[in-house]
């Protein structure tokens, strides 16, 4: 199935975060667009998560550390690991590709 991530239906999940989502049988793809100052609340899920920053800067927060990602960086988050994220107010618009497996039943911000 060919698609353009930017053409997927969008859902504004907060004042500063837009989600575009596509699901297959075992894989979930999301394009997130974050505005400066966006905060993604701490959460966890049974899916493994791969996040790739395609534009901007995103900081992941974990119980014991913060991980700064910039354009071209990626992070693999194991299932059930508590995490959150935010975009610094000094960063520009930030966009990420996110892949989850298996597909999640309940989405943060939904």
What is the set of domains in the chain, with CATH numbers?
Answer: 16-101 (2.60.120.10)
Q: For 36-65, how does the pLDDT look when each residue is reduced to its tens digit (9 = 90+)?
A: 999 999 999 999 999 999 999 999 999 999
pTM of the model: 0.92
CA atoms within 13 A on the CB side of 101: 7
CA angle at residue 51 from 28 to 37, to 5 degrees?
115
Strands of the sheet with 28-34, listed across from one edge: 10-14, 17-23, 28-34, 94-101, 48-55, 74-77
Where is average pLDDT lowest: 25-29, 41-45, 51-55, 104-108?
Answer: 104-108
φ, ψ (nearest 5 deg) of residue 6: -70, -15
Q: What is the DSSP letter of 25?
A: S
For the chain, the first-to-last Cα distance in angstroms comes to 26
The mean pLDDT of 80-96, rounded to a whole number, is 97
């Amino acid at each position: 199935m060919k698609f353009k991530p930017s053409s997927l239906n969008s859902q504004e999940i907060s004042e500063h975060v837009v989600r575009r989502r596509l699901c297959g049988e075992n894989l979930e793809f999301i394009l997130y667009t974050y505005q400066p100052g966006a905060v993604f609340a701490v959460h966890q899920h049974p899916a493994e998560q791969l996040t790739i920053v395609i534009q901007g800067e995103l900081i992941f927060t974990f119980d014991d550390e913060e991980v700064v990602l910039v354009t071209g960086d990626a992070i693999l988050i194991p299932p059930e690991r508590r995490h959150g994220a935010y975009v610094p107010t000094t960063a520009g618009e930030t966009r990420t590709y996110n892949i989850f497996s298996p597909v999640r039943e309940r989405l943060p911000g939904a």
